[in-house]
Amino acid sequence: MAASAPIATPPRRASLERVADLVAALVVREFKGRYRRSLLGPAWAVIQPLGYLLTFTLVGHVLNISSEGIPYMLFVYSALVPWTFFSNALARCAPTFYFKAAIVRKIALPREAFPIAEVVGSLVDFAVAGLILAAMMAWYGTPVGWPLLWLPPLVALVMALATAVGFIVSALGTYQFDTVFALPFVTQLWMLATPVMYSLQSVPRAWRGWYRLNPMVGIIEGFRCAAVLDRTPDLWLLAFSIAITAVVWIIAWPLFRFTAKYFADVL
Amino acid sequence: MGPDVVIRMEGVWKRFGLPMPRWLGGAAREEARPWVLRDINLQVKRGETLAVVGRNGAAKSTMLRILAGVTPPTRGRIEVRGRVFPMIEVTGGLHQELTGRENIRLIGAIVGVPRREFARLLPQIEEFTELGAWLDQPIRTYSTGMMARLGFGVGACLSSEVVLIDEALSVGDLAFQNKTLARIRQMHEQGTAIVVVTHSLDTAQFIAQRGVVLEDGRIVAAGSSLQALRAYEQLVFHGRQRRAQASIAAARIYGADGNTAQCVEIGAPFGIEVECRLSRPAGEALFSLAIVNDAGVTCVWNVSAEEGLRCTAAAGKLRLRAWYAENRLMKGHYRVDFAVQDGASFAVMEQLAGVASFAVTGPGRARGVVAMRPRWDLSAADDQPAPEV
């Protein structure tokens, strides 16, 4: 038994390692637990973007939206993949503490691990949706090249943004469950304010200054450029997204750290 | 902090909720919230065991949560040295679809055992839980007791400086409980400080050396665990004003050899012994004993005067014994309730629930409230009349 070992004060664990261990365990728990009893399993990862895809394709054809010379389906789907990742990550973050109340109320643990785990967990669905995108690109014979190398940093950026916003919505969701109800509505509005079903070019120039304040604009536009348009993303736009993401972090992190201390009181 | 002190709480006050900044109108709203803990001062040294007893809502669990670092105190200081392991039922964190083994890993990560250490501990934990092949089954197939073993197994195999226990001991079957208690004793011998929150007087008595009584978020009594338990009994059963005319000094279950017993076999004889002190003589003392099972059903209730014990009792210390020649209770946990009345005036002099407790053990899988064994018989059911019994 461990009992035979003398009791020694273990060095206070590097908190980063503790968070990483916990994130890993939570992601594995989620991943293994989630699909074991679900009939369609990982297919759920693509049902949602495919549903949007069909609707948007219809709308796009009816309204005759410009798609910068590539098939409209590809145009929309290349933006839907990162957008769905982002919105799903937020939707999972908001009630995360509510669902894990049993743990959070009883055991002291680094609470930031929960939103982070939700974001990392959403990567699984993202990967599946990404494979479908690759298949579509092969089907349409889209030329690909060096701009693909922009994808990993773009994924990192969208994760960073999702984590920061995830901190905010998970903190709000813990204190006010209304957040969880309001979130789908808000993310839907947000999507309309992001070039998912239309191109950035179609946004009137006069509005672009404000439009760019939406950090997802640079990310989605960059993703589409790198993946299907085979060109380097607009670096100026991207720098704007990075700056806004940094600002969101600066707000979100202290807010989360402060409110998280008292989660156990309100759960 | 002295070298031996592992827990120190200094003037700890707690009120729930998020402290809002003043400009959001926080101060006023905060004042409206009640204090849950008021001015708690406490020290626990290495190797000490402390029982925290109190009524429901006395903020026992809040105190434990503050010790575990789950929620910060509103005022005051708290220092805990070394690793704290909360042996609180962690079953809420388990995932129904994962296997027992996967869940053990999850618990490990949740309580913060480094991965390498955990890999080393896993075989011990698996052995401690005694779940065997069940460990590969999803835990939705588990019973409550089996699930509790998972959480407890992890705690029992870790070495930590402070162990917090919250009513977790009442899970699992008797054998597992005994194993757990033995393990806690072992930890204690190795210098782990133990804080147990309970309203089971037996647990407190069994584990703890010191006790504090919480009432309304304040420590109203502190001392040896026995003193604390007395104070708690006073609190629970008498409120604060009424003074009992009799007090109970000790109570136990004993076997045929006269030794104190925790378990009684089905069919075996056993006795209940209560030592009490009457502060005034009783014209005709009426003693009653009840044996109540886990479900709260009074299985046996006996009154001395109706069963041959008629006496006048002088003031002073008395030893009451009730001998049951054959135990007909079914397997399970039982507690003994005791009351003494003045038969002349029928005034209750003392009434106490749970003066002692014991378990009934026996072979086989028979269940129920009463232990009765039929004589079974099977024969071909043709026209012959049933055999006479």
ipTM (interface pTM): 0.75
Q: What is the pLDDT of residue A2?
A: 34
**Looking at beta carbons, which residues of chain A come within 8 Å of B93?**
100, 102-103, 107
Judge: A109–B159 Cβ closer than 8 Å, yes or no.
no
**Looking at beta carbons, which residues of chain A come within 8 Å of B159?**
2-3, 5, 7-8
Q: Quote the minimal CA–CA distance from B56 to chain A in Å.
A: 18
Pick from A2, A33, A107: CB nearest B111: A107
Judge: A25–B105 Cβ closer than 8 Å, yes or no.
yes
Q: Using pLDDT thresholds of 50, 70 and 90, give the confidence band for residue B240.
A: very low
- The Cα B218–Cα B39 span in angstroms is 7
Strand pairing class (B210-215; B37-45) = unpaired
B79-132: pLDDT as tens digits: 888 778 777 666 666 777 788 888 888 888 888 788 888 888 888 888 888 888
Judge: A33–B19 Cβ closer than 8 Å, yes or no.
no
Q: What is the pLDDT of residue A6?
A: 30
For residue A163, pLDDT over 50 is answered with: yes
Closest chain A residue by Cα to residue B47: A7
Q: Among the residues of chain B, which ranges form H helices?
A: 26-32, 60-68, 100-111, 115-129, 144-157, 174-189, 201-207, 225-238
Query: Are B49 and B117 in contact, with CB atoms under 8 Å apart?
Result: no
Q: What is the pLDDT of residue A101?
A: 84
- The Cα A109–Cα A123 span in angstroms is 23
Which of the two residues, B328 and B281, has the higher pLDDT score? B328
Q: What is the pLDDT of residue A8?
A: 32
For residue A247, pLDDT over 80 is answered with: yes
Judge: B98–A262 Cβ closer than 8 Å, yes or no.
no
Across chain B, mean pLDDT equals 80
Give the tokens for residue A260: 């998280």
Judge: B98–A24 Cβ closer than 8 Å, yes or no.
no
B248-294: pLDDT as tens digits: 778 889 988 888 888 898 989 999 998 888 877 877 788 889 998 87
Give the tokens for residue B112: 């913060």
Q: Tell me, what DSSP letter sits at residue B329? A: B
Judge: A2–B121 Cβ closer than 8 Å, yes or no.
yes
- The Cα B269–Cα B255 span in angstroms is 7
Spell out which chain A residues touch chain B, with contact meaning CB-CB distance below 8 angstroms.
1-3, 5-10, 13, 17-18, 21-22, 24-26, 28-29, 32-33, 36-37, 100-109, 175, 259, 261-262, 264-266
CB within 8 Å of B356: residues ≥ 6 apart: B202, B251, B252, B253, B272, B274, B335, B336
Q: Assess B93–A contact: CB distance below 8 Å, yes or no.
A: yes
Q: Quote the minimal CA–CA distance from B115 to chain A in Å.
A: 7
CATH for B5-237? 3.40.50.300
CATH for B243-361? 2.70.50.60
Q: What is the pLDDT of residue A249?
A: 95
Residues 182-211 of chain B with CB under 8 A from chain A are 183, 186-187, 190-192
For residue B238, pLDDT over 90 is answered with: no
Judge: B90–A103 Cβ closer than 8 Å, yes or no.
yes
Closest CA to B166 of B178, B187, B152: B152
A96-123: pLDDT as tens digits: 998 888 888 888 888 899 999 999 999 9
Q: Quote the minimal CA–CA distance from A28 to chain B in Å.
A: 9
Residues 27-86 of chain B with CB under 8 A from chain A are 65, 68-72, 81-84, 86
Closest chain B residue by Cα to residue A263: B71
**Looking at beta carbons, which residues of chain B come within 8 Å of A171?**
none
Judge: B115–A102 Cβ closer than 8 Å, yes or no.
no
- The Cα B99–Cα B104 span in angstroms is 9
Q: Quote the minimal CA–CA distance from B107 to chain A in Å.
A: 9
Q: What is the mean pLDDT of the segment spanning A195-199?
A: 88
**What pTM was computed for the model?**
0.72
- Is the backbone of residue A6 left (phi > 0), alpha (psi -120 to 50) or beta? beta
- List the Cα angle B62/B65/B71 in 5-degree steps: 100
Residues written for chain A: 267
Pick from A8, A9, A262: CB nearest B18: A262
**Looking at beta carbons, which residues of chain B come within 8 Å of A109?**
110-112
Judge: A2–B93 Cβ closer than 8 Å, yes or no.
no
Give the tokens for residue B137: 């089954």
Chain A to chain B, count of Cβ pairs less than 8 Å apart? Answer: 121
Pick from B19, B68, B115: CB nearest A107: B68
- List the Cα angle A118/A124/A128 in 5-degree steps: 145
Where are the domains positioned within chain B?
Answer: 5-237, 243-361
Q: Using pLDDT thresholds of 50, 70 and 90, give the confidence band for residue A186.
A: very high
Closest chain B residue by Cα to residue A22: B109
Q: Using pLDDT thresholds of 50, 70 and 90, give the confidence band for residue B212.
A: confident
The residue whose two tokens read 């044996």 is B291
Best residue in A103, A111, A112 for a mutation probing chain B (most B CBs within 10 Å) = A103
Q: Quote the minimal CA–CA distance from A50 to chain B in Å.
A: 28
SS (H, E, C) B297-327: CEEEEEEHHHHCCCCCECCEEEEEEEEECCC
- The Cα A162–Cα A67 span in angstroms is 27
Which of the two residues, B353 and A225, has the higher pLDDT score? A225
Q: What is the mean pLDDT of the segment spanning B210-217?
A: 83
- The Cα A28–Cα B97 span in angstroms is 12
Give the tokens for residue B132: 């065997």
